[in-house]
Structure 1
Amino acid sequence: MKTPAHIAVTGAAGQISYALLFRLIAGDLLGDDQPIVLHLLEIPEAIAGLDGVKMELIDCAAPLLHDVVVSDDPYVAFENADLAFLIGAKPRGPGMERRDLLRVNADIFAVQGRALNASAKRTVKTLVVGNPANTNALIAQHNAPELPPENFSAMTRLDYNRAKSQVAMHCRCPVSEIKRVIIWGNHSTTQYPDLHHALVRGKPALDKLEWDWYEKDFIPTVQNRGAVVIQTRGKSSAASAANAALDHMRDWLFGTPAGDWTSMTILSDGSYGVTPGLMFSYPVKTENARYQIVQNLEINEFSRNRLQITEAELLAEREAVRHLLR
């Protein structure tokens, strides 16, 4: 029998985590022969609810689930973690600006970064889902100086999945026929969903799509999809976000398909003229649990302008939390 993998999940009593945890114990991430130990973190006020989730997990009698650790202490929850899903974050309240949300969540991710640094395995791979995800990931990474910076990422996979699905519906073809979509920048309404290099059934996507649809329908639809889900459903995306987190981590660990890439928010190395040190979503290929930015893509003026808009937002966010960046 394989040694159990230790998976930490924060905000573990929340909607996204509830949609994620049962898929983890079913083997949807690591396979049906990899036992796991779940480490679940919540704030003290939510521990009672999390104990109920633990009961449900146990009641599944899942062969892969070896143990469930519940804690309100990140230093305990992250002990020996191989993988960490940082999902928990304070949601935006009525009248709250993005900068207010950033301030509230910044301290949470600074503490969690320090706890990962102290307790997790040196090889832990950390995916930040809680918003503002890019800058939260930057804060966590800076507060974990003993962990490799390349092992921190934030999620734009939900945006990527949304973009692929929109193209597939418009072209009336399966999602599997859509390749090389890119999400650049921030997981916010400034993100840039780029189809200039995308393929539909092996042919350039923009040869099959109307420019007006691309610019005036597709781009704003992907940028604002989260808000529309909230307006329609009355709650934020949960199952689709959990699915995207699994997709992101699976590709990171096991590799992207041949002839395709994905989008991940990673620490910028200056590629495509983006300021080094920002957490920025790039097109990447992965192999052997390592990612590599796809290089030498042509960036026209239309795209460059949009990259600069989303970069500017991330620079402003970084400035707002500079006191937490070690």
Structure 2
Amino acid sequence: MSEPINVVVTGAAGQIAYSLLYQLASGSVFGQNQPINLRLLDLPFAMEPLQGVVMELEDLALPILREVIPTSDPEIAFKDASAAFLVGAMPRKEGMERKDLLSANVKIFKVQGEALDKFARKDVKVLVVGNPANTNALICSHYAPSIPKENFTAMTRLDQNRAQAVLASRLGVQVDKVKNVIIWGNHSSTQYPDASHAIVNDQSVPIAVNDDAWLNGVFVETIQKRGAAVIAARKNSSAMSAANAAADHMRDWFNGTKPGQFISMGVVSDGSYGIPKDIVFSFPVTIKDKTYTIVQGLEINDFAKTKLAITVKELEDERTEAHSVLMP
């Protein structure tokens, strides 16, 4: 077996982490031959319930889980980290405005960015799950200047998974038969779920669906509003599905994407598709040797350009507000 790697999960006493930790400890993310040390970071008041989580991890008796350290100290959590799941954030409540969520979370991700910069490995792979994920990832990157910007990502895999599931249901196929759905932009209600390049059983999804009005209307709106619908139903944000998406994201980042397939990740824009630089924007990517590459050359029609402009504006507004709160 390889040497153990240190994996950080923040908000470790919360619901998303509770669903995520088993996947990490069981080897479904980094592999059965990759031992891990878990570093569980949460606030001081959460240390007691976090001890219960630690006991459960011990009771799983899983062979690749070598060490579990619960802590409220970022230095201990991020020391020599190879992968970090930044889950801990002020949760979005029903009726909460996004700007209020940003203001509450921006300070958290400044502290975590500084800790990553000081204590983590320089090749650490950082996935921001806590919302607003895209801008939180930008803040983290800003405060960790010694770590490459491309090592900071935001999770839009949950939206991709939702989109695949909706299309599979519409087409009456297994969800794994739908590939290459794209989530453009922000992990918010402005995101653009794009099925125009998706395939199902080697056929174009738009041809298979044969209903552009549905694809540009009901489909887009369903994915954009799915998070809010979950909150309305269970009075809490998505947890089980978010944890699963986080595992999917990091698994592909470490192990690579399959030939002919791409996934969606929020990454620091390099200007592809005319998207402004210095925002974290969800693009289609392929991954090889733990390095992602934005898929180039996809046709963007006028409808898509309109949707992209909306989500770009929101991300630029979030960036401006984040600067006003913390950044020099």
| TM bracket (short chain) | over 0.9
Counterpart in 1 of 2:214?
213
Counterpart in 2 of 1:319?
320
Counterpart in 2 of 1:51?
51
**Which of 118-127 and 171-180 deviates more?**
171-180
Counterpart in 1 of 2:309?
308
After superposition, the C-alpha distances for 1:244-295 in whole angstroms (9 at most, x for unaligned) are 0010011111111111100000000111111011100000000000000000
Q: Would the alpha carbon gap of residues 61 and 129 (structure 1) be closer, same or farther in structure 2, given more than 3 Å must change?
A: same
After superposition, the C-alpha distances for 1:53-100 in whole angstroms (9 at most, x for unaligned) are 011111111111111111111121101110000000011346532111
* Letter in structure 2 aligned against 1:288: D
Q: Give me the CA root mean square deviation.
A: 1.1
Q: Secondary structure at the match of 1:260?
A: coil
In the aligned structure 2, how far is the partner of 1:288 from the partner of 1:95?
42
Q: Would the alpha carbon gap of residues 94 and 190 (structure 1) be closer, same or farther in structure 2, given more than 3 Å must change?
A: closer
Counterpart in 1 of 2:3?
3
Q: Secondary structure at the match of 2:232?
A: helix
Q: Secondary structure at the match of 1:214?
A: helix
**Which of 45-54 and 200-209 deviates more?**
200-209
> Are residue 223 (structure 1) and residue 224 (structure 2) matched?
yes
In the aligned structure 1, how far is the partner of 2:276 from the partner of 2:323?
15
For this pair of structures, how many residues does the alignment match? 326
* Unmatched 5+ stretches in structure 2: none
Deviation at 1:297? 0.8
In the aligned structure 2, how far is the partner of 1:99 from the partner of 1:235?
19
Q: Would the alpha carbon gap of residues 22 and 300 (structure 1) be closer, same or farther in structure 2, given more than 3 Å must change?
A: same
Q: Percent identity?
A: 52
Deviation at 1:325? 3.7
Q: Secondary structure at the match of 1:69?
A: strand
In the aligned structure 1, how far is the partner of 2:127 from the partner of 2:24?
15
Q: Would the alpha carbon gap of residues 95 and 238 (structure 1) be closer, same or farther in structure 2, given more than 3 Å must change?
A: closer
In the aligned structure 1, how far is the partner of 2:93 from the partner of 2:15?
17
After superposition, the C-alpha distances for 1:34-70 in whole angstroms (9 at most, x for unaligned) are 1110000001111111111011111111111111111
Q: Secondary structure at the match of 2:267?
A: strand
**Taking structure 2 as the reference length, what is the TM-score of the superposition?**
0.97
Q: Secondary structure at the match of 1:321?
A: helix
In the aligned structure 1, how far is the partner of 2:83 from the partner of 2:216?
37
Q: Would the alpha carbon gap of residues 199 and 93 (structure 1) be closer, same or farther in structure 2, given more than 3 Å must change?
A: closer
The answer on whether the counterparts of 2:94 and 2:232 sit within 8 Å (CA) in structure 1 is: no
Counterpart in 2 of 1:249?
250
In the aligned structure 2, how far is the partner of 1:111 from the partner of 1:320?
17
Counterpart in 2 of 1:74?
74
* Letter in structure 1 aligned against 2:291: R
Q: Secondary structure at the match of 1:193?
A: strand
Deviation at 1:216? 2.1
Q: Would the alpha carbon gap of residues 95 and 237 (structure 1) be closer, same or farther in structure 2, given more than 3 Å must change?
A: closer
* Unmatched 5+ stretches in structure 1: none
After superposition, the C-alpha distances for 1:96-136 in whole angstroms (9 at most, x for unaligned) are 32111101100000000000000101110000000000000
Counterpart in 2 of 1:280?
281
Q: Would the alpha carbon gap of residues 190 and 203 (structure 1) be closer, same or farther in structure 2, given more than 3 Å must change?
A: same
**Taking structure 1 as the reference length, what is the TM-score of the superposition?**
0.98
Counterpart in 2 of 1:125?
125
